[in-house]
Amino acid sequence: MTRAFQGEAIAEAKLEESAGLIAVTLGNLYVTLGVTRVAVGGGLGLAAGYLERVQRALKSFGEPWDALEVVRAQLGVDAGLIGAADWATRGAVLEGADMNA
């Protein structure tokens, strides 16, 4: 990200390519499953300007993909840890819970 923001052409191209691939994946979720809103998180997803690149790529695809709403994950980069802790806590209190599911 730093190199792309510093104007390095190869890094910038890879960042655009990655945003485009994420946009295709999210667009496919929209078309096949009817998902209308997706939260993007993680270190890359929350990096300054990245989400806007994904949104721009979706818009470039036109209808129907441009109708998908893409938002920042509210739990930030810790979403995975929080989800795992929640899952473990729920599993611990549920009798007979399959912790391998």
SS (H, E, C) 76-92: HHHHHHHHHHHHHHHHH
Q: Does a structural domain hold residue 100?
A: no
What is the rounded CA–CA span in Å between residue 91 and residue 100?
10
* Structural domain containing residue 32: 2-93
- Looking at per-residue pLDDT, the higher value among 100 and 65 belongs to 65
Instruction: Quickly state the pLDDT bin for 47 (edges 50, 70, 90).
Output: confident
Count structural domains, the chain: 1
Q: Does a structural domain hold residue 48?
A: yes
Q: Does a structural domain hold residue 35?
A: yes
The pTM (predicted TM-score) of the whole model is 0.72
Q: Does a structural domain hold residue 98?
A: no
Q: Does a structural domain hold residue 101?
A: no
Tell me the per-residue pLDDT of 83-98, one tens digit each, with 9 for 90 and over. 888 888 876 655 555 5
Q: Does a structural domain hold residue 52?
A: yes
Q: Does a structural domain hold residue 89?
A: yes
What is the CB neighbour count within 10 angstroms for residue 45? 19
**The domain spanning residue 23 has which CATH number?**
3.30.420.40
What is the rounded CA–CA span in Å between residue 30 and residue 91?
31
Six-digit token string for 42:
């993680």
Q: Does a structural domain hold residue 86?
A: yes
Q: Are 63 and 28 in contact (CB under 8 A)?
A: no
